[in-house]
Amino acid sequence: MNNLIRKYNIPGPRYTSYPTVPFWDNDNFSKRGWVETFQRAFDESNEEEGISIYIHLPFCESLCTFCACNKRITKQHSVEIPYIDTVLKEWKMYVDLFSSRPKIKEIHLGGGTPTFFSPENLKKLIDGIFVYADIAEGHEFSLEGHPNNTTKEHLQVLYNLGFKRISYGVQDYDPKVQKAINRVQSFEAVKKATEEAREIGFTSVSHDLIFGLPHQTMSGMIRTIQLTRELNPDRISFYSYAHVPWIKGVGQRGFQDEDLPSPEVKRALYEEGKKMFEDMGYFEIGMDHFALEHDSMYQSMKNHTLHRNFMGYSSSKTKLMIGLGVSSISDSWYSFAQNEKTVEEYEASINRGELSVFKGHILTDEDLIVRRHILNLMCNLQTSWKHPEQKFDGLSQALYLLEDMVKDGLIEIKENELIVNEKGRPFVRNVCMAFDLHLLRNAPETRIFSMTI
């Protein structure tokens, strides 16, 4: 395995979209084009499946130095109401462009720290969304919570609003690791937040853990997973730490590069974690996710309805996802659009009566075919091209580039089908890269992605 890690551990995308953001064609993108595509997606899908909403709540009281998300560090909670008012204005702009009343299948509150906001203000936000919308059948509303500041009041208010799933950022229980990443929280705080969510009625509690963080050791990782076992979360996200200190605004400066585990040690941490999770009754889902058999994510994997977008893996899909808030990314299936990246620019554009979109990409027919293949690989670990509409001009090149992975026993390529073997699961991003025509045609001259392993 170490030889394979050395061979395939290269910079590569995480494929929460295709094309990936660095390869968006902004020159041929316009707000008008974005509006036309999301109206098309809405008309095609709202009645049957509803739409999704991602709401970015960017504020945090302190900076976690491992985090590459868009955030604003402040202890001034006076920012809450103006920001919520702006998000609701943005939502009303979208509603005015829909042809009928939207049905919301999914809401995800991301951050930042959503529980930075008071329970009362979160209620104001969600109630404001549903002034102009209905709840779709089989809806799933979720949020990210910080164990240190998610109160019982937060949980009760959100549960009453229809939220049944919460994800707590745990990362690691080792005090030395917590200090390096400036994310200090006790096991007791996580236990309290987890138990309170279950007592109130949340049906899925997820814990986020990260492997590859500074100062992580095998013994420390084993202890973290043993503590996780005591709480038995319904899902576990076991993410690979993305070390991207060159990205503007990223605070990954609380440690030195030499404090990070080597690629071989990092992969060993994952393999040990995976073994422990499987022994605990979890099933591996896609890439970096695990779920118990009763959880909806496991069920969606079995039913081949697992989906992946900018929110990560989802147990259901909608064709249209509207991103609200600073830096949020929207997806109409036919195009992507991203909002302004600073709170000031975002609020200014909305208050001028304009959508805050500042860049995006309109997918070509070729993009749509390749996007489906990459989604198949990321979600189902296989894809096929049995029908003419599943083929594209770069397919033979992709299969040629994958010959080494076939020889290494990582994948199988049959007449019209590609299957990622269990041995190849750690390298699924590398498989997707062979299909990524934008990456192959425009290989970046500088480092823009984290390592694949």
Domain ranges within the chain, ordered by starting residue: 13-362, 365-442
CA atoms within 13 A on the CB side of 365: 5
Residue 337 labeled ligand binder: no
Residues 6+ apart with CB under 8 A from 338: 21, 323, 327, 328, 329, 330, 357, 358, 359, 360
Residue 413 labeled ligand binder: no
Looking at residue 444, its pLDDT comes to 65
434: which 2 tokens? Answer: 């062979």
The b-or-e profile of 352-367 (16+ CB within 10 A means b, else e) is: eeebbbbbbbbbeeeb
Looking at residue 452, its pLDDT comes to 58
The residue count of the chain comes to 453
Distances, alpha carbon 347 to alpha carbons 34, 83, 304, 325, 355, in Å: 20, 8, 39, 9, 10
pLDDT, averaged in runs of 10, over the chain (453 residues): 76 88 94 97 97 96 84 95 98 98 97 95 98 96 96 98 97 95 94 98 97 95 97 95 61 71 89 95 92 94 88 86 97 97 97 96 97 95 95 94 95 95 91 94 64 61
Residue 64 labeled ligand binder: yes
Residue 112 labeled ligand binder: yes
Looking at residue 253, its pLDDT comes to 57
Residue 144 labeled ligand binder: yes
Residue 174 labeled ligand binder: no
- Whether the full predicted model's pTM is greater than 0.85, yes or no, is yes
14: which 2 tokens? Answer: 């995480």
Residue 183 labeled ligand binder: yes
Q: Are the CB atoms for 221 and 211 separated by under 8 Å?
A: yes
Looking at residue 450, its pLDDT comes to 58
Residue 417 labeled ligand binder: no
Rounded CA-CA distance 97/40 in Å is 11
330: which 2 tokens? Answer: 């929207």
Residue 290 labeled ligand binder: no
Residue 67 labeled ligand binder: yes
Residue 60 labeled ligand binder: yes
Looking at residue 176, its pLDDT comes to 95
Residue 111 labeled ligand binder: yes
Class of the domain covering 365-442: mainly alpha
The CATH architecture that domain 13-362 belongs to is Alpha-Beta Barrel (3.20)
431: which 2 tokens? Answer: 């498989």
407: which 2 tokens? Answer: 């020889």
